[in-house]
């Protein structure tokens, strides 16, 4: 069985197995540029094809740039990456308060045993009997709002981490 229509595909695949070579002097020259945009433009200007066995071989596709690296390069580089999936943050943390606890009011700051400082950001308040180093949970709801929960108490203030 003859398959002459596969010959161009086979030749293209053979030609693309070569490694793209670039001018080493040009790469070294680009490395010396301090400005990130100019350095990138310099690298982009280097020809990315090389002759392999008399056939021009295309350079392999560039590896995708991670979203974090693109965002760090320049604000314009992160445009459109807002929906890129980031590592999932924990839904809750557990700790104890450092010191005594008698309740809270607006703008009350809580220091946890792990060193984090959280502030009440809603208008809620609660006066409770004094307790030393109670267990607490910081819980993130479906919308990303954080609440501090205390064992045995039905109300939870809305909080934001400040340190």
What DSSP string runs through 31-95? HT--SHHHHHHHHHHS---EEETTEEEPPPPPPPPPHHHHHHH-GGGGTT-TTS--PPPPSEEEE
Mean pLDDT by 10 residues, the chain (163 residues): 59 53 73 82 71 48 50 66 76 92 94 94 93 93 92 91 92
With residue 161 as reference, give the H or E element that holds it.
Answer: strand 158-161
Instruction: Give me the pLDDT at residue 31, please.
Output: 82
Instruction: Give me the pLDDT at residue 83, please.
Output: 72
Instruction: Give me the pLDDT at residue 71, please.
Output: 47
- Cβ–Cβ contacts within 10 Å for residue 147, how many? 17
Instruction: Give me the pLDDT at residue 15, please.
Output: 55
> What is the value of pTM for the model shown?
0.48
Q: Which residues contact 90 (CB under 8 A, 6 or more apart)?
A: 140
Contact assessment for residue 161 and residue 144, using Cβ atoms and an 8 Å cutoff: no
Q: How many CA atoms lie within 13 A of 11 on its CB side?
A: 9
Instruction: Give me the pLDDT at residue 106, please.
Output: 94
């Amino acid at each position: 069985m003859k398959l002459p229509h596969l010959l161009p595909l086979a030749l293209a695949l053979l030609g693309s197995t070569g490694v793209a070579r670039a001018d080493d002097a040009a790469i070294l020259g680009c490395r010396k540029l301090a400005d990130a945009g100019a350095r990138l433009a310099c690298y982009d200007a280097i020809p990315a094809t090389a002759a392999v066995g008399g056939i021009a071989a295309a350079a392999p596709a560039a590896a995708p740039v991670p979203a974090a690296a693109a965002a760090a390069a320049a604000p314009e580089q992160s445009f459109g990456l807002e929906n890129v999936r980031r590592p999932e943050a924990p839904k809750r943390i557990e700790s104890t308060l450092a010191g005594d606890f008698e309740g809270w009011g607006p703008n009350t700051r809580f220091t946890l045993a792990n060193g984090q400082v959280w502030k009440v950001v809603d208008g809620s308040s609660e006066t409770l009997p004094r307790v030393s180093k109670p267990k607490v949970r910081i819980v993130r709801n479906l919308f990303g709002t954080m609440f501090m929960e205390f064992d045995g108490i039905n109300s939870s203030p809305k909080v934001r981490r400040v340190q």
